[in-house]
Amino acid sequence: MSPSRTATAPAPAPRLPRRVLDLVGGVFIPLIPALTGCGLLAGLTGLLANLVHTGHLPWAAGAVTVLLPLSNGFTAVLSVFVGYSAARALGGTPVLGGATAAVMLHPKVAAIHYSLPLIGHVSPSHNEGGPLTALAIGLVTAWLERRLRRVVPASVDELFTPLLTVLTAGLVTVLVLMPLGGAAASATGTLASWALGVNGAVGGAILGGVFIPGLHQALIGVTSTLIQQHGSSALLPIMDMAGAGQVGAALAVYLRARPGNALRGAIRATAPAALLGVGEPMYYTVTLPLGRVYVMGCLGGAAGGAFLGAFNQYGYTVGAVAQGKAGWSLLPLLTGNHGTAAAMALYAAGLVLGTVVGLAAALASLRGERATALLERTPPTRAAAEEVRAPAHPAPVTAAASLAKEGA
């Protein structure tokens, strides 16, 4: 009797874009506890700092001084943790990925200068490219280590494999990955400066819709210059619409996912910080790994940005008088040519519009069996976090273990 034709066929392997997004989620999901705790604390600290800056709570200046290192300590070395997690996700030794990514944070990295053919002068800067560059560093480190272990003799594996891995991956980091991250950040700043010069809804849509997590730090210089020259920056409120769109998209995931899905827990954990302007925990662990959800969130950001841009064109400006946390915590720093109350109202309306459009667009994209399968196959947040505390993957083979095996 022939085998049953109704036997269940193996599920097809996911395509490359889906595997890349799953890898990004697998890297950042284990970091959720720290991203959530520090992110929420950073959002509250930012709100308090904004109120101190505007003179509403001058007595809280000392509390802000204490809270700043507590809330920003983790993000200051986030690149190290991302490199650690990325190396682990690709089967390498996690601490080697973290060690190589730490090169980004060394103060002497800015002293490196060299020239490349067709490119010209290159000089890396501190933490150039942010978490996305650290992600690439961790993956490259794990890839190099795994191949070195195939060729390095077991008797010297413990000595030479880490040495060659850190040396080679470190050179790739300084000579290739950090300059690429810097070029991407520079291109982001150039695009933002150009879009800011495009009056009206079109420029606002570009600024609010083209959102790349990790590269927004490139806009700090542009915003600071605008504040120095004009007393406020219209760029910051419009760019903040991107976060509103991502919040709406994440809310759609929460509504579409079945009860008990780990994504719902991740959204509950990261949403408060995202509302206060610290959205990286939500972006990296929910919307970005889901691909289409991230794109729908960008549409929401474009809608909010277009809204503010259109009002700006017709003479209702909204600007931030200082750098600060974004989201709803930016309200105390807003000003406009029709008064602070009008600026706050327009900004709040933009946030609501961006959130609603992101929600509606993501809900429309999460229909059908494929969308259901996408939500169900996302790596469990809690399980991933537990694996960081007690890694389940085997430890690298040591020279002593190899010799003992050969002797047996």
pLDDT per residue as tens digits for the range 140-164? 999 999 999 999 998 888 999 999 9
**Cβ neighbours for 91, distance < 8 A, ≥ 6 positions apart:** 142, 146, 393
Give the residue numbers spanning the domain of 294: 198-389
| 22 lies in some domain | no
Assigned domain for 132 exists: no
Spatial distance between the Cα atoms of 357 and 303, rounded to a whole number of angstroms: 7
Judge whether 349 lies within some domain.
yes
Residue 344 is inside which H or E element, if any? helix 340-365
Q: Closest by alpha carbon to 317, among 288, 293, 349, 344?
A: 344
Q: Is 383 part of any domain?
A: yes
Question: Longest C-alpha distance within the chain, in Å?
Answer: 85
The Cα 337–Cα 119 span in angstroms is: 44
Give whole-number Cα distances, 335 to 57, 197, 344, 376, in Å: 18, 20, 8, 44
CA distance 62 to 347: 29
- Cα–Cα distance measured from residue 196 to residue 212, given in angstroms and rounded to the nearest whole number: 17
Which helix or strand (DSSP H or E) is residue 393 part of? Answer: none
Neighbours of 177 (CB within 10 A): 26
Cβ neighbours of 370 (radius 10 Å): 9
Q: What is the pLDDT along the chain (408 residues), one digit of tens a residue?
A: 444 444 444 555 566 666 777 777 778 878 878 877 887 788 788 888 888 887 888 888 888 899 888 888 888 888 899 999 999 988 899 999 999 999 999 988 888 877 766 666 777 888 887 888 899 999 999 999 999 999 999 888 899 999 999 999 999 998 889 888 877 777 776 776 677 666 678 888 888 887 666 555 556 656 666 666 677 778 888 888 988 999 999 999 999 888 888 888 889 888 888 888 888 888 888 888 888 899 999 999 999 999 998 888 888 888 887 766 678 888 888 888 888 888 899 999 999 999 999 999 999 998 877 777 777 765 544 444 444 444 444 444 444 444 344 444
Residue 142 lies inside a defined structural domain of this protein: no
* 31 in a structural domain: no
Q: Is 175 within a domain?
A: no
In a domain, 20, yes or no: no
What are the tokens at 70?
Answer: 């507590």
Domains: count for the chain: 1
**pLDDT tens string 10-31:** 555 566 666 777 777 778 878 8
